[in-house]
Amino acid sequence: MRASEAASVPAAAAERWDTAHVVAAPVLVGSPGAGKSSVLEALATLHDIEDVAHGAIEAEQLSLGRPLLPASSWVPQLAAVLSLQREAGRRRFLISATVVTATDLAGVRSATAADALLVVCLSASPATVAARIDAREPDHWPGKLPLIARARELASSTPRLPGIDLIIDTEQRAARDVAAEVFAAMRSRGMLGSR
């Protein structure tokens, strides 16, 4: 809002205008099997229950196919999708992403173009992520064993990446409980703003 426009708008309305244009984004990261998809869905449900406007995206969808696209390809796509969402009026994004390196995470952080950003690493032991993937993926899928091996590695390395604001252990926890913890962290950081 330009200064000349602000002069003609009551102070309370100008304050609402500024709040409405703040972009907020919690980003859920973690290894495959850490619970990102389930927690994202539960977090979106909490936003629905509280009538908090939001968009939700699993960045992994941008890499799917054979071969999987590297982060250097899907991160710019994420930035483009979020830009289009902002043009459509959205200001709060719930995002999940599997990042492998600090560069991947920095790219995702930048792609959000968020004024208020919270990167939450969902963490579970290598054995737990392997068991979760084993239970959910069909045995006939040729990518199952490589995914389990990769998930075991990422379960240890992802929580150590720089740029993570909060680590939440998902061992023996329901997705809705983890989502409630993320939601509370968003609230404490002022990320829920006006509806």
Task: Output the domain CATH number for residue 38.
Answer: 3.40.50.300
* pLDDT at residue 21, rounded to an integer: 57
Evaluate whether residue 15 is within a structural domain: no
Terminal alpha carbon distance of the chain: 20
* pLDDT at residue 18, rounded to an integer: 38
CA distances from 81 to 12, 55, 59, 62 (A): 32, 11, 10, 10
**3-class secondary structure, 113:** coil
Evaluate whether residue 6 is within a structural domain: no
Evaluate whether 195 touches 53 at the Cβ level (below 8 Å). Answer: yes
Evaluate whether residue 4 is within a structural domain: no
DSSP letter for each residue of 4-53: HHHHTS-HHHHHHHHHHT--EEEEEE--TTSSHHHHHHHHHHHHHHTT--
* pLDDT at residue 8, rounded to an integer: 33
* pLDDT at residue 3, rounded to an integer: 36
pLDDT in tens, 97-143: 999 999 999 999 999 999 999 999 999 999 999 999 999 999 999 99
* pLDDT at residue 39, rounded to an integer: 98
Evaluate whether residue 13 is within a structural domain: no
Q: Tell me which residue range forms the domain holding 169.
A: 23-188
Evaluate whether residue 129 is within a structural domain: yes
* pLDDT at residue 134, rounded to an integer: 98
Evaluate whether residue 117 is within a structural domain: yes
* pLDDT at residue 19, rounded to an integer: 41
Rg of the chain over Cα atoms, rounded to whole angstroms, equals 18
When divided into structural domains, the chain yields a total of 1
* Structure token pair of residue 137: 């993926």
* pLDDT at residue 194, rounded to an integer: 52
Tens digit of pLDDT at every position of the chain (195 positions): 333 333 333 333 333 323 445 789 999 999 999 999 999 999 999 999 999 999 999 999 999 998 999 999 999 999 999 999 999 999 999 999 999 999 999 999 999 999 999 999 999 999 999 999 999 999 999 999 999 999 999 999 999 999 999 999 999 999 999 999 999 999 999 998 754
Burial state string for 3-37 with b = 16 or more CB within 10 A and e = fewer than 16: eeeeeeeeeeeeeeeeeeeebbbbbbbbbbbbbbb
* pLDDT at residue 34, rounded to an integer: 98
Evaluate whether 55 touches 90 at the Cβ level (below 8 Å). Answer: yes
Evaluate whether residue 12 is within a structural domain: no
Evaluate whether residue 3 is within a structural domain: no
The partner residues of 115 in beta bridges, in order of sequence, read none
